[in-house]
């Protein structure tokens, strides 16, 4: 097919029969997509540079338990055939990537009026993927539910499971699944909690050790923002007040977390006023430090709800799949380039390049020490740090590097903050000022 290139929108669409690339992709080619569906689960398998899609359905008609992989290098979907007994078909389940075991953890969901409370582990060894149901102890979340928020609390090696819906009752309780011994227990956070809800967004803010929760529905649609601090034994709810324009209330929006820039990406979703639906087709980024909303897409492809999403840190993109418009079901795949090191936001031109700072790697990135130039406005306060692929801070290189000069050469010796050599792999150098940030990828080979 003839290659196409249109320098206009930072978004790419992969349809059931072709990939149409508008910016940062270079060809139009035939691919095979998963069948159309809504309320599926998707995570990023960052170790193998792919996304994993599970389940979903055509509401009240067909439910899926198939497993698909999207190669993030080629953007090709592949139907996987894992060994083991697989979960029953379902939608509105919760899935979390667990890199410590190179696995996906699946919890809950529903099929028609039946709700699941099982926990499943999918090992993600390419070509040898394997399902198994985990025998879990303790007191399970009750009742079983769908559309709960779930994040991996890396520091305490536990899943945090919050809210959800069962038989039109909406919950705001909080549960933890200890991944050291696979045991459930309920948490009773201090502070006034958010109202019970489902269809909400949640991400794990590793920098501030907290879960961030946005929106959702319980008969009313919300755009409030909450933080649950995750210090063990001191968990506390706090209502947040971010700056910037705030997304309108909504539910069942897509959600992803960008660990490199410490931001939450949300978009699309819907509301229903009792007689008609409103389906949104915008996208937003919530910067977590400082806490501020940015609109990054004002008028994307057809509005919908029930999309699933996962963030690809290597290409700085959010991969978004499927969804529904009530009577319309979608099976398309989108790549949204919403990285805050690449864009600034205003109301007239929502996506434009940031040109006021530079981070340039010198020589071959695989060689140590890795040397790089930082160029920022003279007198600015800036921080340079190293992160791994899942957003963990590895090494703080410099603080306030812009106070004495606008251009400096810095280096990283391949060690973390404790002085230990890091393993071979992909890392990110991040330059951050008070108003913007810039990130570059390096690959260490030992």
Q: Could you tell me the pLDDT band of residue 16, with boundaries at 50, 70 and 90? A: very low
CB atoms within 10 A of CB 358: 14
- Residue spans in the chain of domains classed CATH 2.60.40.4070: 355-444
Mean pLDDT for 1-23 is 29
- Residue spans in the chain of domains classed CATH 2.120.10.80: 11-351
CATH number of 355-444: 2.60.40.4070
Question: Which pLDDT value is given to residue 440?
Answer: 79
Distance of alpha carbon 370 from the chain centroid? 29
Q: Which helix (H) or strand (E) holds 139?
A: none
Q: Do 92 and 74 form a contact (C-beta atoms < 8 A)? A: no
Mean pLDDT for 430-441 is 73
Beta-carbon contacts of residue 219 (< 8 Å; ≥ 6 apart): 170
In terms of CATH architecture, what is 11-351?
Answer: 6 Propeller (2.120)
pLDDT tens digits, 341-366: 443 333 333 333 333 345 666 655 56
DSSP 225-263: EEEEE--TT--EEEEE--BSPPPPSBBS-EEEEETTTTE
CA distance 32 to 16: 6
Q: Do 109 and 116 form a contact (C-beta atoms < 8 A)? A: yes
Q: Could you tell me the pLDDT band of residue 400, with boundaries at 50, 70 and 90? A: low
């Amino acid at each position: 097919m003839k290659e196409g290139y249109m320098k206009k929108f930072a978004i790419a669409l992969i349809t059931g029969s072709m990939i149409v690339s508008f910016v940062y992709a270079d060809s139009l080619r035939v691919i095979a997509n998963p069948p159309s569906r809504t309320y599926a689960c998707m995570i990023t398998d960052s170790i193998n540079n792919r996304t994993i899609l599970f389940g979903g359905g055509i509401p009240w008609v067909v439910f899926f338990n198939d497993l698909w992989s999207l190669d993030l290098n080629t953007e090709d979907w592949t139907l996987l055939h894992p060994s083991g007994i697989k979960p029953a078909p379902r939608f509105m389940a919760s899935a979390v990537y667990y890199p410590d075991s190179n696995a996906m953890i699946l919890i809950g969901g529903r099929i028609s009026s039946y709700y699941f409370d099982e926990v499943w582990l999918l090992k993600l060894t390419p070509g040898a993927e394997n399902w198994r149901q985990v025998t879990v102890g303790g007191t399970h979340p009750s009742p079983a539910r769908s559309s709960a928020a779930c994040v991996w609390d890396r520091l305490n090696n536990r899943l945090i499971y919050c809210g959800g819906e069962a038989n039109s009752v909406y919950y705001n309780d909080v549960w933890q699944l200890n991944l050291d011994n696979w045991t459930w227990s309920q948490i009773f956070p201090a502070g006034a909690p958010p109202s019970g809800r489902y269809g909400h967004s949640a991400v794990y803010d590793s920098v501030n050790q907290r879960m961030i929760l946005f929106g959702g529905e319980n008969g009313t649609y919300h755009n409030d923002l909450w933080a649950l601090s995750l210090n063990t034994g001191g968990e506390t709810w706090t209502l947040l007040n971010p700056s910037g324009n705030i997304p309108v209330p909504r539910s069942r929006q897509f959600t992803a977390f960008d660990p490199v820039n410490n931001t939450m990406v949300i978009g699309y979703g819907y509301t229903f006023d009792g007689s008609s639906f409103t389906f949104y087709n915008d996208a937003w980024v919530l910067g977590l430090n400082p806490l501020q909303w940015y609109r990054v897409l004002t008028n994307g492809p057809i509005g919908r709800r029930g999309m699933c999403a996962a963030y690809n840190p290597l290409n700085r993109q959010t991969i978004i799949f499927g969804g529904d418009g009530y009577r319309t079901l979608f099976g398309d795949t989108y790549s949204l380039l919403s990285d805050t090191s690449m864009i600034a936001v205003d109301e007239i031109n929502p996506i434009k390049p940031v040109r006021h700072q530079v981070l340039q790697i010198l020589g071959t990135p695989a060689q140590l020490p890795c040397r790089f130039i930082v160029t920022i406005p003279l007198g600015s306060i800036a921080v340079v740090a190293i992160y791994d692929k899942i957003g963990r801070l590895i090494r703080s290189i410099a603080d306030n590097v812009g106070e004495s000069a606008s251009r400096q050469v810095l280096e990283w010796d391949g060690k973390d903050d404790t002085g230990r050599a890091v393993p071979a792999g992909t890392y990110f150098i991040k330059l951050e000022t008070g108003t913007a940030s810039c990130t570059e990828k390096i690959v260490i080979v030992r």
